[in-house]
Amino acid sequence: MAGPHDALFKSVFAQPEHAVALIRPHLSDALQAHVDWSTLQLVPGSFVDEELRERHSDLVFRVASFAGPIYVYVLLEHQSTNDHAMTLRVLRYLERLWSRWQREHPHEPLPLIVPLVISNVPVGWSSPTRFSELFPLVLATTSEARRHIPDFEILVDDLCRSSSDALRSRIMAATARLALWLLSARTEQRVRETMHEWAPLFAGLPFATMAMFTRYLARTLGSPVIWDEFCANLSQAAPEAAGVTMNLYEQWIAEGEAKGEAKGEARGLARGRAEGEASLLTKLLTTKFGPLPDAERSRLASATISELETWAERVLFATSLDQVFAP
pLDDT of residue 95: 94
pLDDT of residue 265: 40
| Residues forming a β-bridge with 75 | 58, 117
pLDDT of residue 263: 44
Question: Which amino acid does the sequence have at 281?
Answer: L
Distance CA 11, CA 33 (A): 28
- pTM (predicted TM-score): 0.79
> One digit per residue, pLDDT tens: the chain, 327 residues?
457 888 888 889 999 999 999 999 999 999 998 899 999 999 988 777 776 666 668 899 999 998 889 999 998 876 667 889 999 999 999 999 999 999 999 999 999 999 999 998 888 899 999 999 999 987 777 888 888 888 999 999 999 889 999 999 999 999 999 999 998 887 788 888 999 999 999 999 999 899 889 888 888 887 788 888 999 999 999 999 999 998 888 777 665 554 444 444 444 445 555 676 777 778 888 888 888 888 888 888 888 777 887 787 777 667 788 888 887
Angle of the 16-23 helix axis to the 4-13 helix axis, nearest 10: 100
pLDDT of residue 269: 44
Question: Which amino acid does the sequence have at 291?
Answer: P
- Mapping DSSP to helix (H, G, I), strand (E, B) and coil, where does residue 214 land? helix
214 φ, ψ to 5°? -60, -45
Q: Are 269 and 308 in contact (CB under 8 A)?
A: no
Long-range (24+ apart) CB contacts under 8 A made by 227-236 are 229/192, 229/195, 230/191, 230/195, 230/199, 233/195, 233/196, 233/199, 234/199, 234/202, 236/199
DSSP-derived secondary structure letter, 46: -
Q: Are 64 and 39 in contact (CB under 8 A)?
A: yes
Distance CA 167, CA 74 (A): 18
For CA atoms 117, 123, 127, 129, the dihedral sign is positive
